[in-house]
Amino acid sequence: GRDASPEFAMRRALIESRELYRDLTRCSSDFVWQTDENGAFTFVSAKGALGYSANALNGRSSAGLMDAGSSGQASNPFTAREQVENAEVVLRHANGETRYCLVQALPVYDQENQWRGARGAVSDITQARQHQIAMEYIRQREEQVRKVIDATHGTLDTVTAFNKAAAIIAENSGAVHCAILSLVNQHTSLLGSSTPMDGAVIPGNVLEGLRSGAMLAEEEEMLCIQENGGQHQLCFTFYAGIANGAIWLRYPEDWQPRQAPQFMPQGITSRPFAQTVSSQIGIAIAHALQMLRLGELSRTDELTGLFNRRAFMEDLQGRHAHIFRTGQKCAFLYIDLDNFKQINDSMGHDAGDLTLREIANILRYHSRAGDLCARLGGDEFAVWLEGADEEGAQRKCRLLISDVERLHAQISPEKTDSPDALGLSIGIAISDPENAESLLQLIKRADEAMYQIKRRGKRGYGVAPPAPLVNVCGYAGA
């Protein structure tokens, strides 16, 4: 018979070649394919693809697998007319899910060099691509959180800091407006906002939700409110376990929450941006309130709560300069507490401290908007009466002296008429806008008037003589 060994060898080589091709395609891709000149599949590897069997895909248009809703989608590689390497496309699985794939493709030409379709291989990179998308989402989120932290720590100007933070939160939340609010003892203050409030008030339902919700809310809890055709969210902020404010977000009526990737890594949850930064905002609010409190303490007398000498003199500089622009007289009262030492000696320092606080309350009670009250030190006080002339200043002194006499009657009813009774010696100096007298000269005149009362027996008031006329050029008048 005829020697069949060469034919056998060729047949064997062909079989091995096909097995090699089959194994390589299985290892290197999820499926191989071929399409005709209409873009319809004429071959799909036996295991099928994208949840479809091979038979279900044969004859099906490849364009139907492309996810038309994906931005930046490449042209259909299944109809390639030139070589395609690692084209990333988004395909639709049979169950409707998105699949990210890499496609290799070669055009197919017949013997007459006419294009007849394409063939190639597809690798499903969905898991790797989803992980990349999730990591990029997390990276961008962390970058925006860092911007909020930098905004609240980058300046001592708290208004600028909270305005910047609110703008970042609004942008990342899809809100038309964001405001950061502090809450102290049911009192709400606006710290900053993404857009100017222009005198606008916080809607009633939002304000009520803030005050009532803060008492019951958990950390990072969000409260949703419908008000005036819009949607509102309050994300409460906490410091040391106590609610100290909220992030207020306002959305249009048709707003829908932004969706994070659904395939976040295990152990990482996606939350609204306001919740993500609420702890940082809570710390920033606490810091701002502490700085405000420190500022107040640096300007107030610890015992009485009145201005201290430094703060009083700072504010007085501006008030005194202002009278030359308005042409309005003002009065300076220099007050010394008579016989205060006897209360300390006979009743103790606690009683003395209580007396000083009561004197401060009397001064506050008789103060109008625009007046300033201070404890200069020890038992000395001062009052600036805005827009007061000599008659108004004397009337104020009589009220103060009368109230202090009633206070003494409560403290020592048996010594009401005693020379050692508690009282006030007050010196009055009227600031004249037509006289360029310095502030120190004005205070000195009031001080001297007060000591004149002391020398005459205390418990009274006196008006200092007008200052020598000084014109704006500094020359003494006639």
CATH number, residue 16: 3.30.450.20
- pLDDT tens digits, 111-160: 999 999 999 999 999 989 888 888 888 899 899 999 999 999 878 789 99
Beta strands in 156-265 (DSSP E): 177-184, 187-193, 222-227, 230-239, 242-251
Q: Is residue 194 part of a domain?
A: yes
Active-site option among 301, 338, 379, 403: 379
Question: Both 341 and 202 in a single domain?
Answer: no
Which pLDDT score is estimated for 476? 45
Question: How far apart are the C-alpha atoms of 160 and 150, rounded to whole Å?
Answer: 12
- 379 catalytic residue (yes or no): yes
- The reply to whether 113 and 180 lie within a common domain is no
CATH number, position 204: 3.30.450.40
* 146 lies in the same domain as 286: yes
C-beta neighbour count of 12 within 10 angstroms: 10
- Please check whether residue 153 lies inside any domain of the structure: yes
pLDDT at 416: 57
Which pLDDT score, from 0 to 100, does residue 207 have? 81
Number of domains in the chain: 3
pLDDT at 357: 95
Token readout for 248 is 């207020």
Q: Give the number of other CB atoms < 10 A from CB of residue 340.
A: 18
Residues 143 and 120 in one domain: no
Strand order in the sheet with 423-431: 372-377, 380-385, 330-338, 423-431, 460-463
> What are phi and psi for residue 366, nearest 5 degrees?
-95, 15
Domain shared by 359 and 451, yes or no: yes
Handedness of CA 273, 277, 279, 285 (dihedral sign): negative
What local confidence, expressed as pLDDT, does residue 201 receive? Answer: 73
pTM of the model: 0.62
d(CA 324, CA 450): 25
pLDDT at position 369: 85
The model's pLDDT over 438-463, given as tens digits with 9 standing for 90+, comes to 999 999 999 999 999 999 888 899 99
Same domain, 48 and 115: yes
Shared domain check, 200 and 108: no
The confidence score (pLDDT) of residue 447 equals 96
97 belongs to a structural domain: yes
The CA-based angle 231-232-237, given to 5 degrees, is: 160
- Domain boundary among the residues 124, 151, 179 is at 124
- Rounded (5°) CA angle 244-245-249: 160
DSSP element (H, E) containing 165: helix 158-173
Rounded CA separation 18/3 (Å): 25
The angle, 0 to 180 degrees and rounded to 10, between the axes of the packed helices 158-173 and 273-299 is 170
DSSP, res 59: T
SS3 content of the chain, % helix, strand, coil (to 5): 45, 25, 30
- In this structure, the answer to whether residues 44 and 168 fall within a common structural domain is no
Are 319 and 443 found together in one domain? yes
CA 384 to chain centre: 37
- Distance separating alpha carbons of residues 458 and 379, to the nearest angstrom: 14
Q: What is the pLDDT of residue 14?
A: 72
**What's the CA dihedral at 303, 306, 309, 314 to 10 degrees?**
150
- Are 52 and 155 contained in the same domain? no
Same-domain check for residues 113 and 171: no
**Are 14 and 76 within one domain?**
yes
How high is the pLDDT of residue 478? 39
**Does residue 475 lie in a domain region?**
no
What residues pair up with 338 in beta bridges, in sequence order? 423
As given in the structure block, the two tokens for residue 109 are 């030409």
**Residues spanned by the domain of 325:** 309-463
Asked if the structure places residue 326 within a domain, the reply is: yes
Residue 61: DSSP 8-state: B
User: Considering 124, 144, 161, which residue would you say is the last residue of a domain?
Assistant: 124
> In angstroms, rounded to a whole number, what is the distance separating the alpha carbons of residues 317 and 324?
12
pLDDT below 50 — which residues of the chain?
A: 1, 473-478
Helix 439-455, helix 309-326: angle, nearest 10 = 110
Residue 442 sits in a domain whose CATH number is 3.30.70.270
Does residue 471 belong to any structural domain of this protein? no
Is residue 370 included in any domain, yes or no?
yes
- Single out the residue in 124, 143, 178 at which a domain terminates: 124
